[in-house]
Every structure is written in structure tokens, then in C-alpha cells.
Chain A
Amino acid sequence: MTKPITIAVPKGYLLKETLRKFKAIDIHFPSNFEESRRLFTYDTSETYKLLTVRPWDVPAYVEQGAADLGIVGKDVLLEQEPSVYTLKDLEFGGCKLVIAGLEGQSIKTLKHHCKVVTKYPHSTMKYFETIGKKVKIIKLYGAIELGPLTGLSDIICDLTATGKTLKEHNLIELDTVFESTAQLIANPIGMKIHYKEISDINSRI
């Protein structure tokens, strides 16, 4: 097989952990790659090609087959529901998607048609469908915590790891939508072509 196995990884914390995990199973990418501006690199054996992409773009690369493997938060997978194989929970990058609001609010007392700001409209919609509440979802791309403070929304649905940012904005967790960790995903055809290699990585990583 001449074509390298391509792996899409988001820059930042997940990339750092990924490089460490690969190093532990003897797949070595250049040590200065994290600091460089390059968007891809090869391991020393040139069997693996690493792409650094935006977290939200990892499923697209894997689903379309531009990458054989990807490492991505479960939150992104649940939000996008891409047609990929999920191979393994890598158990790092732990965080959770929560519903949060101001002191005194609770899920039970939320009014129908209350406004929710979120980066996760699909997951938010599913959550409120499950509990049987009709809400207005407003999609934002960041600074979600501003929603209730500025009157843009009543509550928020956002990702939190430590809860610190929520606390700093006087927001309290009302409920957990789901918990998330980094997952190893594969393109279904890439999985057939590189079955042995991918199974091997999956069992050792």
C-alpha cells in the first residue's frame, strides 16, 4: 500500500494528546509540528499523514474520505451525525454539554418558547424534544455565556469542562445534555482498504 493512512486531528489540546498517544505506540510525528504553521505532516516511517483541521471540520474530512481516520469530540459527532465508523473512546478531552441559566431558574419551571443560545442547535433541539418542551433556538458561534446576561436569551446550551467560565458569568448548570470525550472515527471505505493497519492502531492506542 503506497498511499499513507491520513488522520485528521483538531489543533490544540486534542492534537497534543493525540501526538502523545501515537508516540506511545511508536508512531512518531515531527516534534516541532505543534508549534509550526504547517497544516499537515508525515510520521518518520511515512506510513501516516497527519492533518490539522478545525474541530468542527474533522467529520467532513473523514466522511468524504479526505482522511481515513479522525480524532474528534463526541459532542461534534452527536451534533453532526456524520456517516462514519466510531472505533474507540480515547477517554481524553472530557467535557459535557449542559443547559445553564441564571440563579433561580430550573428546567422544570422553564416556559415553553423560551430562548436558548447555543453552538449546538441539533443537540439542543433533541434535548428539548426529549423532555417535551418547545424552545426557540438561536445559533451563535461563540461567547455563548453572554446570552442570558444581555437579554438575548433565557438560557444557554454550551460545552463546559471545568464550569469556571459559567461561574464567572453567574450561570449555573441546570441539566447535563451529554458527556463527551475524544473518539477515534474512520471512513467506512478507508476502513476496508486499511483494515489491518487501522485495527492494529485501534487495539494499541
Chain B
Amino acid sequence: MTTYTTPQGISDYLPNDTNILNTQIIKLQSLFSKNGFKQIKTPTIEFAENLEKGLGPTQKKQCIEFFDPAGNRLLLRPDNTTPIARTVATRMNTEKTPLKLCYTEPIFRKSNQNHSDTEIFQAGCETFGYTSIEDIAEIITTCINALEALGVTDIGIDIGHINFVNGLSEEKKEALLKGDYITFGKIPERGESIESDNNDLTHLITTLKTKSPSTPIMINKGLVKGLHYYSGIIFEAYSNHNRNIIASGGQYDNLCSKFGHTISAVGFAINLNEIGFQHD
């Protein structure tokens, strides 16, 4: 029997799944709005040449590209942060700061040999022009609250800092990114309190512990992200019931300047596919 299936990593969402996804999105939009984040939509399709200004090598490789009739290279957005940064830098650069934006849109990344999803539904928040550790803490607690609103239990947060990695040799950085702890030389340190002269990090942890006392917050010296735009604190959220990272984010103070306007930024994205809404 011919089943007329969809491409690898792309799915139909039948009424039950669509209903679950939409309910999740409505919950998140209401929560984000209550926290002062305004919804924004950027296009699914972008000029490759433009968006690539903000993308790192790993992300560029994941992009799905094609040509328009005039021969311009186009791509499907591989994340929401870069197009939003482009929009803020070019069209919202006179807005009052902090500028708090949120989105609930799918992204598109080439499916790898492990059959990862090509279309990934994301929801997230970004604060542009943040000034304090409290603003970063707000992003992380909004992320935790959003996951809780989706019914995720046993959430844990790992926090890292770009400075943990910056001093390392290229070989060791590469090893960390690949999870090759043999080449790295050891399992990276991870714990509730780690010897660190980073005051921002200490301040952030104290703030988070007050705001989300029941969530385990760990400093992870091996936390690295394939996204090159992170500039300071980075974090990821996991749950004991999921076997992949369910949300991640961090500071990306240098991204908007790639599009011509320098402004600090911090944000997070939740992977809704990973939370699970597909049952049929």
C-alpha cells in the first residue's frame, strides 16, 4: 500500500496532537505575557546571506537552503534567536530597553543520521538590553516556570560560563563539544558549588536558589553549546523523564552587533518536540 509519507524528520499532526501542541502554546503565551514578554513572529524563510552573519559553522551546516527565482540563496530559519536579533537590530533599535520578546514558532534543521526531527517546535523568550544578573535570573526562572506549566516534573538546571571554556586549547574545546572526555582528560567538574572566581555566577546561583528553591541548580564546567553566539552564562534544562535536553539558553551580547546594532541579550528556547505532544 502506498502511504504518501512526509520527508524524514517532518510529521503530520493529527487533531489530538495539534490540540495538545496548541494548548501548550496557549499556556506558554499566557505565562510569557504575564511576565512582560511580547510576542514576535519572524519569517520562516530568510535570505541566507543575511542570516548567516549571525550563524556559526555548526548552525550553517544544519540549514535547509534553496534558491529563489532570482537566484538568491534562501534558508529556513534554523533557530528563532538569530532572526529575532536581526529584527531587533534593524527595526526595533530605538525601542525602550529592556525589550522583552517571546515566540512560539517551529525551526528547521537537517535531520542527522540519528533521525532527529527536521521541524522542531520551539517556544522561548529573549530580553534585549538587559542590565543585571536579575534579568538573567528572570530568563532562567521563566524557563523553569514554563516547563512546569507544560507538566514537566523533576527539572534540573545546569549552568556554565563561556569563560570555563575560553582558556582551553582548541583540541580540548573540540573534545568538550563532542563529549570526548578521554581527550579532555577527565569528566568535567559539576556540582552545587564549584571553586570559581566568577562573581556573576555566584550571584546568579544565589538568586536562582531563592526563586526556584526546589530545582537542583548545578554548575557544570563542561557545559558547551554548538551555538557560537553565546557570550557569558549558558544553561540547559533537563528532566529525569526525558533523555534529551528540553530547553537551553544564555547570554549572547555580540549577536545583534552582527546585524549593525550593539545591544546585550539573554534568552532561552524550549524544545516542544522533546516535551512531547505527538501521540497519534
Q: Do A and B bind each other?
A: yes
Chain A residues proximal to chain B, CB less than 8 Å: 63-65, 81-89, 183, 187-190, 192-193, 195, 198-199, 202
Decide if B158 is an interface residue (CB 8 Å cutoff): yes
Picked from A88, A188, A192, A199, the residue with its CB within 8 Å of the CB of B179 is A188
Q: Which of A64, A84, A89, A193 is the most central at the interface, judged by chain B CB atoms within 10 Å of its CB?
A: A193
**Cβ-closest chain B residue relative to A89:** B182
Contact at A192–B156, with CB atoms within 8 Å? yes
25 A-B pairs (CB sep. < 8 Å): A63-B114, A65-B243, A81-B113, A82-B114, A83-B114, A85-B179, A86-B179, A86-B182, A87-B181, A87-B182, A87-B187, A88-B181, A89-B182, A188-B179, A188-B245, A189-B238, A189-B243, A189-B244, A189-B245, A190-B243, A192-B158, A192-B218, A193-B238, A195-B190, A199-B187
| Residue numbers in A under 8 Å from B5 (CB-CB) | none
Picked from A87, A187, A198, A199, the residue with its CB within 8 Å of the CB of B243 is A187
Contact at A202–B187, with CB atoms within 8 Å? yes
Chain B residues proximal to chain A, CB less than 8 Å: 113-114, 156, 158, 179-182, 187, 190, 218, 238, 240, 242-245
**Cβ-closest chain A residue relative to B216:** A192
Q: Which 8 A-B pairs have the closest CB atoms?
A: A65-B243, A85-B179, A189-B243, A86-B180, A189-B238, A87-B181, A86-B182, A199-B187
Query: Considering the chains assembled together, what is the distance between the CA atoms of A86 and B156 in angstroms?
Result: 22
CB of B250, distance to nearest CB on chain A (Å): 17
**Cβ-closest chain B residue relative to A191:** B187
| Residue numbers in A under 8 Å from B187 (CB-CB) | 87, 198-199, 202
| Residue numbers in A under 8 Å from B244 (CB-CB) | 65, 189
Query: Considering the chains assembled together, what is the distance between the CA atoms of A82 and B179 in angstroms?
Result: 10
| Residue numbers in A under 8 Å from B113 (CB-CB) | 81
| Residue numbers in B under 8 Å from A86 (CB-CB) | 179-182
Query: Considering the chains assembled together, what is the distance between the CA atoms of A135 and B238 in angstroms?
Result: 44
| Residue numbers in A under 8 Å from B158 (CB-CB) | 192
Picked from A64, A85, A192, the residue with its CB within 8 Å of the CB of B181 is A85
Inter-chain pairs besides A85-B180, A193-B240, 8 sampled, C-beta below 8 Å: A65-B243, A82-B114, A83-B179, A87-B181, A189-B245, A190-B243, A192-B156, A193-B238
Picked from B218, B240, B243, B245, the residue with its CB within 8 Å of the CB of A64 is B243
CB of A201, distance to nearest CB on chain B (Å): 10
Query: Considering the chains assembled together, what is the distance between the CA atoms of A89 and B184 in angstroms?
Result: 12
**Cβ-closest chain B residue relative to A87:** B181
Contact at B238–A192, with CB atoms within 8 Å? yes
Query: Considering the chains assembled together, what is the distance between the CA atoms of A63 and B187 in angstroms?
Result: 18
CB of B175, distance to nearest CB on chain A (Å): 9
CB of A169, distance to nearest CB on chain B (Å): 32
| Residue numbers in B under 8 Å from A199 (CB-CB) | 187
| Residue numbers in A under 8 Å from B240 (CB-CB) | 193
Query: Considering the chains assembled together, what is the distance between the CA atoms of A19 and B114 in angstroms?
Result: 30
| Residue numbers in A under 8 Å from B180 (CB-CB) | 85-86
Query: Considering the chains assembled together, what is the distance between the CA atoms of A3 and B63 in angstroms?
Result: 39
Query: Considering the chains assembled together, what is the distance between the CA atoms of A88 and B179 in angstroms?
Result: 11
| Residue numbers in B under 8 Å from A83 (CB-CB) | 114, 179
